[in-house]
Amino acid sequence: MKKIKVGVAGYGTIGQRLADGVALQEDMELVGIADLAPTLSIQALRERDMVGAGGVKYDLYLVDGADPLAFAKKDIPVAGSFEDLCKKVDIMLDSAPGGVGAKNKENYYEKYGVKAVFQGGEQNSVADVFFHGYANYEKGVGADYLKLTSCNTTGLIRTVDCLDREIGIEKVAITIIRRVADPGDYHRGLTNALQMDKAPTHQAVDLMTIMPHVDATGILVHTPVTHGHIITVLATAKDGRKITKEEALEAFRKHPRIRVVSLEEGFKGNASFFKYARDLGNRRGDMYEIGLWEDSIVESGNDIMYAINIPQESVTIPETMDAIRAATKMQMTREEGTAATNQYLGIGKFKDLK
Amino acid sequence: MKKIKVGVAGYGTIGQRLADGVALQEDMELVGIADLAPTLSIQALRERDMVGAGGVKYDLYLVDGADPLAFAKKDIPVAGSFEDLCKKVDIMLDSAPGGVGAKNKENYYEKYGVKAVFQGGEQNSVADVFFHGYANYEKGVGADYLKLTSCNTTGLIRTVDCLDREIGIEKVAITIIRRVADPGDYHRGLTNALQMDKAPTHQAVDLMTIMPHVDATGILVHTPVTHGHIITVLATAKDGRKITKEEALEAFRKHPRIRVVSLEEGFKGNASFFKYARDLGNRRGDMYEIGLWEDSIVESGNDIMYAINIPQESVTIPETMDAIRAATKMQMTREEGTAATNQYLGIGKFKDLK
Amino acid sequence: MKKIKVGVAGYGTIGQRLADGVALQEDMELVGIADLAPTLSIQALRERDMVGAGGVKYDLYLVDGADPLAFAKKDIPVAGSFEDLCKKVDIMLDSAPGGVGAKNKENYYEKYGVKAVFQGGEQNSVADVFFHGYANYEKGVGADYLKLTSCNTTGLIRTVDCLDREIGIEKVAITIIRRVADPGDYHRGLTNALQMDKAPTHQAVDLMTIMPHVDATGILVHTPVTHGHIITVLATAKDGRKITKEEALEAFRKHPRIRVVSLEEGFKGNASFFKYARDLGNRRGDMYEIGLWEDSIVESGNDIMYAINIPQESVTIPETMDAIRAATKMQMTREEGTAATNQYLGIGKFKDLK
Amino acid sequence: MKKIKVGVAGYGTIGQRLADGVALQEDMELVGIADLAPTLSIQALRERDMVGAGGVKYDLYLVDGADPLAFAKKDIPVAGSFEDLCKKVDIMLDSAPGGVGAKNKENYYEKYGVKAVFQGGEQNSVADVFFHGYANYEKGVGADYLKLTSCNTTGLIRTVDCLDREIGIEKVAITIIRRVADPGDYHRGLTNALQMDKAPTHQAVDLMTIMPHVDATGILVHTPVTHGHIITVLATAKDGRKITKEEALEAFRKHPRIRVVSLEEGFKGNASFFKYARDLGNRRGDMYEIGLWEDSIVESGNDIMYAINIPQESVTIPETMDAIRAATKMQMTREEGTAATNQYLGIGKFKDLK
């Protein structure tokens, strides 16, 4: 089988994990990664002889403006320019800083006929399709430019789409309790303060773009923590139908990318998921599934309310793999596309345990 | 006019502020405060020659089990025993640790015919009435034992009662983003973690006790900050009526104990309220009003969603003053009772500014 | 007696407290404050009818670039321009953002013969004297332009100067455990991280400028808290002399601006001081004294090691009042100058309690 | 070669990492781990079919008081009782909660002739030797019961022993800026506060036990972070000899368990090390080396001052492996013992990169 050739532009928090994700897909080939400076993450790669997930070699290409000497001084091997990388790949995962992706498209992707999947920082207009692996896979099939939903929206939609397919959803109201920085971030932070955003929060608006038949709104509050967002969701079914706790729980339990957990088991909050992922031995302490607390589910009249945990660094990786599959027509349906991603990332195996 | 004689049992975070609140009520007399040990708060009082808010002297009584020598060593003057204090007052504000209030009632209040207002830590059964100054003032009129709602519930009910009287509310779903400790707390804390509570959260249950015609539920998440809880509220009107942002805003603006603020003015989060109260020169940096962000209000179908800020250390003080007024029949109606409290605490004057 | 006329440029965290400090000095007149925008702090002043500490009216002047309409919209009364203020004062306390003070000097202070005291953000070159009320008061006498030491340096020097005068100090090595933001700050922050600065830290260098006979160095680490820096100091006496815990303690106990406290009393950390200041009823919960833990003092060979607490928002206020006294020759000696400041700010009264 | 048989009592934060460490030593056999309850960490092991580091199977034994049903309910396989485990091993790594180790020794280790290495939580009296792989390896050779230094002391001694062997050290004064909880901890925490400990801190006292010719003292301050302690050290050479920055740096650079890093490279604080370890793909995001900032090293008269980073969860693992080697006489000298540990844990390879 011919493997799809994939590049990753930007080796930051998301880019590293995209590269790892691709390295684990046995039907894809990670051609290389591209970045601007010898960051700590690249120095770490160098310390491991440029070998990443699954024992795969990560060849490094330099984007425009990079100083080759800075890399040479640290003995970091370079495989070529970003343009060189573009010539070799079928599709680029663009996790460059916001705005750079649009320029990359103009300068390189269009020129070399490279498809691209952009991350949440780009404008929606950069892409033909605003994509989510479970909610609108088919829209992405064969598309040239896809933009992925952001971390919160990706996790949120998993649950709303899940309920929608089982029950039919017409309205959601969300409260996002957002982690303000990632572990190791020194360029942003918040100290002993909660911070309000102007409502409605963009994640609700984005959900409506992906699922236009659902009315969504919500409020976002930033909190001074690093290990995972928590979102509370109030979902209203179509046609005045009541949603019971039992049927919601049953639906969530079947979804491969949702881990239903409980306080009793020891999942006390967002930090428990991070600890659990480290204890699992997961690379970087990452988790691809979102968490959903069984003991958070409550009925509010006919509506259902629940709380989920979003591992912000890694949650979008599976849906980005889905996006590659859709764009390159590796699989034509959501069932096949997501199943292939799940298999290679080891998602959903925990379901058999319980 | 004969002043109502008031005592305060427990000079902790709440007790100090209750004493301050009573000291400012010109129609009440603070007979004394009672505590067990020469805490930092009592040492601070000593440093100020036992003079508190409004230049009022705070006489100190010792509760059972206190060691008089510990006070003598620090040169802290003592006025008598808790029983002595009970003999002198008409009503006691009991802010002792949870469970102690019930014993105080059994041992002293019933014996000496002292009315009492208990704080949130006591069981509901200790009191005849579970009380909120705005929502059910009349139920407290003439009652002997009242229990006040906790800080979150007190602030939450201000807004739900406000909408209910204007529009009619039948259902609310809340998300409480709880501050986990007060400034200066070393006996509890949370570090880089959000923590889930089992749902539904007790504040929703308490709201239903006070406002039995409203269906309420919700989820609570603890966050590692000290300056104020934030609650998001989704409120549904009776009979399928739509609530518009404009009418909700208009109702909130009229309430003396709700400050409607905006991000544009500079109220970026819970810490802004604390800073503002300090800048106002408020004693202890306290604020009696809750905050409500104008830019958080959004419509969700027919429902309305909004976010409020709860200054946890001081928010229950006005409603406790209301409770004294109701229990001792100083004022017979909510309008008169709350108006008197507001006048002496300087609440609502800011309304004239805008 | 003719009162010295004082203005305050910049009504931020430090400027507000400088204005309060001047308002409490009975031999000074606060002519006015100046700022650029209707910040929350100015809105708070407006809510109090522009009345600040000690019941003093704070007239507001607008600095160059301010938009009078922005103030008018919020009904904030304006008394004139910054130039108007400069014409009326003998001395300006300049707490404008870093760099602005130098321009103010060039544009206004020199033109109108206004003396000035700059805060830590300005370059040393802006001033004739780098000043500390206890360590080099006499150098400031009659000077036109003084720059005050920063908050950490101010508190640190109190203790080193104190030991130096009693015992003679030749070397100090410090570790600054720095609070990274003030309560209410949203423009800077750190989340779940300690951050290193390049050594040696500037506070050690500044100490050597003020006390040239002492060799100083040190390391600074930022921590994600808001209530006070903690500094550990290792001090070496001249000529190989041993410093005992007892003599160090005795020296510290005599200093009016050092509070010797203990863990046993309840001062468990930096947050305890903030709580204590609030409990004292101090305006804004401020404290002018630094804390020094008795139970932190240990002997290291001949050297002495101890830990102090720096209330960063308010610690420089007394030394700035000293600077006014020196510059305007109100008092000619450190003993007289600092005594007058201490009297009006109520500093040192707690000493009599113990 | 016959492999040394090792057990691990207590599968908590340290116990998990001890098991991983043993699993990686090719000349040791991990016979099993023991614990009391099906914690999240054990549930994670179960999800991975009980396979841990290096693909090694971790057999689980139950300590006295464990409820087998609780494990059965979660389908967690159990290999036997703690006594069964004791019968099979040559040496036990005891990382049970403080005090339990002493009982294990009395009840099982003495009975079955099992040697043991206790972690920092036990009393010193439980062991024959208080051990550090680099500072006193030879003392541990052939000993039956060893106690390991705690995380801070372990890392601190690496640097002091390193300087001592090169230069000769007679005195150190330390400031420990302690992380207050581990990632995922919900049973302890601190929120927006620094907390002082009574001085001198026990790590200085412990250092003197291991290195009796050095005088040590210090102060410890707790900070609300989770990723690594930072310690500043002021070291004084013997006989009035001056220590230069250059010679200190050279000594540190040669030590396999010390990573000399710089702010310029991107190591901005404790969280950078955690991020780097995750980026390296290290299991659990752990690091065995301590960090030492080149740009923190400053001369203070004849003394040298520097700052180190202690990855608290994993730093004691290598020295514990050393302890096994010493106790069981696998290697008779520190050079051979530490070299074997370093080889199997991959420590020191980064030294060749620079």
D184 touches chain B (CB under 8 A): yes
Spatial distance between the Cα atoms of A134 and A335, rounded to a whole number of angstroms: 8
Residue type, A8: V
pLDDT reported for residue D353: 63
Spatial distance between the Cα atoms of D242 and C72, rounded to a whole number of angstroms: 65
Chains contacting A with at least 3 CB pairs below 8 Å?
B, C, D
Strand partners, C229: C310
Q: Which of B223, B231, B243, B292 to mutate to test the interface with A (most CBs of A within 10 A)?
A: B223
Spatial distance between the Cα atoms of B28 and A292, rounded to a whole number of angstroms: 51
Spatial distance between the Cα atoms of A59 and A55, rounded to a whole number of angstroms: 13
The predicted model gives B18-46 an average pLDDT of 98
Closest to A195 (Cβ–Cβ): which among B224, B269, B306?
Answer: B269
In sequence order, which residues have a C-beta less than 8 Å from that of residue D72 and are 6 or more positions away? D78
The percent of residues above 90 in pLDDT, for chain B, comes to: 95
Q: Residue C122 — pLDDT band, cuts 50, 70, 90? A: confident
- pLDDT digit string, tens, across residues A56-110: 999 999 999 999 999 999 999 999 999 999 999 999 999 999 889 999 999 999 9
Closest to C280 (Cβ–Cβ): which among B44, B269, B349?
Answer: B44
Mean pLDDT score of chain C: 96
How many CB pairs (< 8 A) connect C and D?
152
Chain A CB contacts of D184 under 8 Å are 271-272, 274-276, 278
- pLDDT digit string, tens, across residues B170-192: 999 999 999 999 999 999 999 99
Distance from CA of A189 to the nearest CA of D (A): 13
SS3 assignment, position D90? coil
**Nearest alpha carbon to residue C216 among D325, A189, D299:** D299
pLDDT reported for residue C354: 53
Q: What's the angle, vertex CA A114, arms to CA A109 and CA A119, rounded to 5?
A: 75
Place of tokens 């870093």: C98
Q: Which of B279, B283, B314 to mutate to test the interface with C (most CBs of C within 10 A)?
A: B279
Distance from CA of C208 to the nearest CA of D (A): 13
Q: Which of B11-25, B113-127, B130-144, D303-317 has the lowest mean pLDDT?
A: B113-127
Is the pLDDT assigned to residue B98 strictly greater than 90?
no
Are C54 and C23 contacting, i.e. CB atoms less than 8 angstroms apart? yes
- E strand intervals along D12-51: 28-35
Interchain CB distance below 8 Å, D275 and A184: yes
Chain A CB contacts of D39 under 8 Å are 266
Are C354 and C326 contacting, i.e. CB atoms less than 8 angstroms apart? no
pLDDT reported for residue B120: 79
Spatial distance between the Cα atoms of D307 and D305, rounded to a whole number of angstroms: 7
SS3 assignment, position B218? strand
Distance from CA of B102 to the nearest CA of A (A): 31
Distance from CA of A154 to the nearest CA of D (A): 23
- pLDDT digit string, tens, across residues B210-222: 999 999 999 999 9
Interchain CB distance below 8 Å, C183 and B53: no
The predicted model gives B239-253 an average pLDDT of 97
pLDDT reported for residue B353: 62
DSSP label at residue D58: -
Neighbours of C329 (CB within 10 A): 13
Interchain CB distance below 8 Å, B228 and A194: yes
pLDDT reported for residue B121: 81
Distance from CA of B89 to the nearest CA of D (A): 38
In sequence order, which residues have a C-beta less than 8 Å from that of residue B242 and are 6 or more positions away? B299, B301, B302
Q: Residue B1 — pLDDT band, cuts 50, 70, 90? A: low
- pLDDT digit string, tens, across residues D55-87: 999 999 999 999 999 999 999 999 999 999 999
Q: Searching chain B, which residue's CA lies closest to the CA of residue A192?
A: B225
Is the pLDDT assigned to residue D318 strictly greater than 90?
yes
Are B180 and B224 contacting, i.e. CB atoms less than 8 angstroms apart? yes
Interchain CB distance below 8 Å, C275 and B45: no
Distance from CA of B162 to the nearest CA of A (A): 21
pLDDT reported for residue C340: 98
Q: Is the peptide bond before B318 cis (omega within 30 degrees of 0)?
A: no
pLDDT reported for residue D122: 87
pLDDT reported for residue B280: 96
Interchain CB distance below 8 Å, B281 and C350: no
Q: Residue C1 — pLDDT band, cuts 50, 70, 90? A: low
Chain A CB contacts of D275 under 8 Å are 40-41, 183-184
Residue type, B278: R
pLDDT reported for residue D348: 86
Are D228 and D311 contacting, i.e. CB atoms less than 8 angstroms apart? yes
Is the pLDDT assigned to residue B310 strictly greater than 70?
yes
A222 touches chain B (CB under 8 A): yes
Interchain CB distance below 8 Å, D185 and A274: no
B226 touches chain D (CB under 8 A): yes
Catalytic residue among A66, A85, A151, A248: A151
* Backbone phi and psi for residue B31, each to the nearest 5 degrees, phi listed first: -75, -40
Q: Residue A201 — pLDDT band, cuts 50, 70, 90? A: very high
Strand partners, B229: B310
- pLDDT digit string, tens, across residues C10-64: 999 999 999 999 999 999 999 999 999 999 999 999 999 999 999 999 999 999 9
pLDDT reported for residue D2: 87
In sequence order, which residues have a C-beta less than 8 Å from that of residue D199 and are 6 or more positions away? C295, C296, C297, C298, C305, C307, D217, D218, D219, D220
Are C271 and C237 contacting, i.e. CB atoms less than 8 angstroms apart? no
Q: Residue A120 — pLDDT band, cuts 50, 70, 90? A: confident
Interchain CB distance below 8 Å, C226 and A184: no
The predicted model gives C294-302 an average pLDDT of 98
C-alpha distance from residue D211 to each of A177, A341, D151, D154, D338 (Å): 49, 56, 16, 12, 18
Distance of CA D168 to the CA centre of its chain: 25
Q: Residue B350 — pLDDT band, cuts 50, 70, 90? A: confident
Are B132 and B103 contacting, i.e. CB atoms less than 8 angstroms apart? no
Spatial distance between the Cα atoms of C273 and C286, rounded to a whole number of angstroms: 9
- pLDDT digit string, tens, across residues D152-204: 999 999 999 999 999 999 999 999 999 999 999 999 999 999 999 999 999 99
B99 touches chain D (CB under 8 A): no
The percent of residues above 70 in pLDDT, for chain D, comes to: 99
pLDDT reported for residue C353: 63
Mean pLDDT score of chain B: 96
D193 touches chain B (CB under 8 A): yes
Is the pLDDT assigned to residue B354 strictly greater than 60?
no
Distance from CA of B112 to the nearest CA of A (A): 45
Residues 301-340 of C with CB under 8 A from B: none
Enumerate the H helices of chain A as residue ranges.
13-24, 40-47, 68-73, 82-88, 100-104, 110-112, 137-140, 151-166, 202-210, 245-254, 270-279, 316-327, 334-345
Catalytic residue among B127, B151, B172, B324: B151
Q: Residue B223 — pLDDT band, cuts 50, 70, 90? A: very high
With a threshold of 0.90, does the pTM exceed it? yes
Chain B CB contacts of C183 under 8 Å are 227, 271, 274-275, 278
Is the pLDDT assigned to residue A352 strictly greater than 90?
no
* Backbone phi and psi for residue D310, each to the nearest 5 degrees, phi listed first: -110, 110
Q: Residue D1 — pLDDT band, cuts 50, 70, 90? A: low
C-alpha distance from residue C235 to each of C165, C176, C221, C293, D304 (Å): 13, 14, 20, 16, 15
Is the pLDDT assigned to residue B352 strictly greater than 70?
no
Residues 230-289 of C with CB under 8 A from D: 230, 232, 234, 236, 263, 267-271
Spatial distance between the Cα atoms of A190 and C187, rounded to a whole number of angstroms: 8
**Nearest alpha carbon to residue B237 among B247, B228, B229, B227:** B247
Interchain CB distance below 8 Å, C46 and B75: no
